[in-house]
Structure 1
């Protein structure tokens, strides 16, 4: 069952633009209408989505879940807890902080120096940040599809008599 607040796939009856969203979205001065998803596209698994879109490995997901479960921890504390090398944990934590799913703060040490402590971010904030990042990714993917369409049209228009207009794009 699809949750009530799930975004819908919408399309414009006038120009064919598509959108994903909730509520009333307009295009060409008219409300976009709900469109059935394409049946040949599989629903993504969370692990695939996190890996493909955000570059998160299974190890990084494990690090993230450990911070969310265990609370604020330094790299050393987390590395000891999950039995990974400190450098691996540090790299993953920095990526997770860049994604906005953990918070990185510097803590001064009593006898001088400092250590970074990583804290979990509230789940609703994580959902919002990942959704925004995903929509940014979708925007870029849409631009790539548009470029592919332009390349094919240009190759058809430029085709000489006996040369095939359909070329592989990975010929380099």
Structure 2
């Protein structure tokens, strides 16, 4: 396992052109891959974008998470007062944060009888690991999606060459996007 301080780099196989992310030497085609610098222009994401896009955490849910971390230990009732949201909304957000593994939920017996759920932040290391694991899983899904698009693009290019004489009027990009739209 890599150390928390190791950095990911992009590697390319000089034989087949395969790309990989790795925090150490990557191998392909029975040899080491070369480290490369990306030339693809990208925008740096901010925390809110990552949390929303990768983990489906809304700004309100991020506020709930921050309040749990600041409080150290809290209940739904206390959070409802702090962030001025309906208890059902806070409960839904807390359950999602528990599912993500960034907040722990325990049940405590009250002195006057009954039980209350108490929420507390998980350790920094546990949260970092869960978020990194989730991000890596998301990246794998995104890469798979891009591979599917590339396969469709190749098919569309072959189809486009056949249809050029027919004058379909739709660009290859329009047709590709229409084909991939399953929502």
Verify the 8 A CA contact 1:103 1:118 in the aligned structure 2. yes
Q: What's the counterpart of residue 178 of structure 2? A: 170
Displacement of 1:140 after TM fit? 0.6
Displacement of 1:90 after TM fit? 0.8
In structure 1, C-alpha distance between the alignment counterparts of 2:109 and 2:118, rounded to whole Å? 10
- What runs of 5+ residues in structure 1 fail to find an aligned partner? none
- What runs of 5+ residues in structure 2 fail to find an aligned partner? none
In structure 2, C-alpha distance between the alignment counterparts of 1:88 and 1:106, rounded to whole Å? 19
Q: What's the counterpart of residue 157 of structure 1? A: 158
Determine if the alignment matches structure 1 residue 7 to structure 2 residue 34. no
The number of aligned residues is 170
Displacement of 1:39 after TM fit? 4.3
Q: What's the counterpart of residue 65 of structure 2? A: 64
In structure 2, C-alpha distance between the alignment counterparts of 1:111 and 1:30, rounded to whole Å? 68
1:33-82 residue CA offsets vs partner (Å, 9 max, x unmatched) = 22112341112111111111111111111111111111121111111122
Verify the 8 A CA contact 2:153 2:176 in the aligned structure 1. no
Q: What's the counterpart of residue 102 of structure 1? A: 103
Give the TM-score of the pair, scaled to structure 2.
Answer: 0.82
Aligned-residue CA RMSD in angstroms? Answer: 2.2
1:92-123 residue CA offsets vs partner (Å, 9 max, x unmatched) = 11111111111122223345543221110111
Verify the 8 A CA contact 1:156 1:165 in the aligned structure 2. no
In structure 2, C-alpha distance between the alignment counterparts of 1:119 and 1:4, rounded to whole Å? 26
Verify the 8 A CA contact 1:102 1:118 in the aligned structure 2. yes
Give the TM-score of the pair, scaled to structure 1.
Answer: 0.87
